[in-house]
Amino acid sequence: MKKLVLLLGIAMLAPLGARAQAVQVFGGYSYLRLDTQPGKTNLNGWELSGTLNGSWLGFTADFSGDYGSPFGTSTSLTTFLFGPQFSLPLPRVSPFVHALAGGARLSAGGASKTVFAGAVGGGIDAKIAPFFSYRVIQVDYLATRFSGSTQNNLRISTGLVFRF
């Protein structure tokens, strides 16, 4: 699995070498609507991502941690996702979409398990200064597969974006 992710990353970065490159770092608040049995629960936390951008295509590494105590049990979901991001850099805003794959680690009640995870979503960055933006919103459908069934989770994030 690690070799596949590494090869995928190299393949995604190769086309970026011919274009002007920029690094974008996002950090902010994350709200997660976690699909659990018997229902859904809310978790809050953080999200951090880095994107190596060409003119409109980039490669993103995304990490998040969301925490809570639903039903009196301390619960956390940590994700590590990677994949392409397509953006439309306009003068004042920059909408983007991405498709990410990787893993998710769920810890609850002293037990933990790591499984495959994938996310599809996008958002809007509003430029504040030449190298600084505010991520107005990022919405992701986050699929995980714990206990042999698929969980359909919703993640919403907001925060600051720095460009180098």
Neighbours of 154 (CB within 10 A): 15
- Say which CATH class 2-163 falls into: mainly beta
Cα–Cα dist 158/164, whole Å: 20
pLDDT tens digits, one per residue of 45-92: 999 999 999 889 999 999 999 999 987 889 999 999 999 999 998 999
Position 4 pLDDT exceeds 60:
no
pLDDT tens digits, one per residue of 89-116: 899 999 999 999 999 999 988 899 999 9
Cα–Cα dist 100/95, whole Å: 17
pTM of the model: 0.84
Neighbours of 131 (CB within 10 A): 12
For 69, 73, 85, the CA distances from 108, given in Å and listed in that order, are: 9, 7, 32
